[in-house]
Amino acid sequence: EAAVTQSPRNKVAVTGGKVTLSCNQTNNHNNMYWYRQDTGHGLRLIHYSYGAGSTEKGDIPDGYKASRPSQENFSLILELATPSQTSVYFCASGPRGNTLYFGEGSRLIVV
């Protein structure tokens, strides 16, 4: 079974502060993804990566940066957090164009 772990699982941040969400996968998948989940919008892709050193913009990248320093790790960075970024964030990994394996989710509240 695929293993994707996220940290922190819960985070409260202040407006204007910096937030880093981390993701680690032990499946040796080349592709990793960050989605946010909001009622009425479903899962929306923020950033994704083809492999170490690569990051690509997804459908809603504004206000977010990503970093893929290694095959195993993929981080999502909010340099200046805003209340509109309050959400549940999911990291996922998977083979090209195929099944995604999701982490447990990170619940972020920006006050």
CA angle centred on 108, ends 103 and 109, rounded to 5°: 160
Q: Which residues contact 83 (CB under 8 A, 6 or more apart)?
A: 15, 110, 111
Among 19, 23, 25, 48, binds other proteins (CB under 8 A): 48
| Half-sphere exposure (Cβ direction) of 13: Cα atoms closer than 13 Å | 27
The least CB distance from residue 102 to other proteins, in Å, is 4
Please state the separation of Cα 61 from the chain's center in Å.
Answer: 11
Residues pairing with 75 in the sheet: 67
Range in contact with other proteins (rule: CB under 8 A) among 21-29, 31-39, 62-70, 79-87: 31-39
- Binding of residue 43 to other proteins (CB under 8 A): yes
- Binding of residue 28 to other proteins (CB under 8 A): no
- Binding of residue 26 to other proteins (CB under 8 A): no
- Binding of residue 103 to other proteins (CB under 8 A): yes
Residues pairing with 18 in the sheet: none
Among 20, 45, 52, 73, binds other proteins (CB under 8 A): 45
Site for other proteins, rule CB under 8 A: 31, 33, 35, 40-45, 48, 50, 56, 58-59, 90, 96-100, 102-105
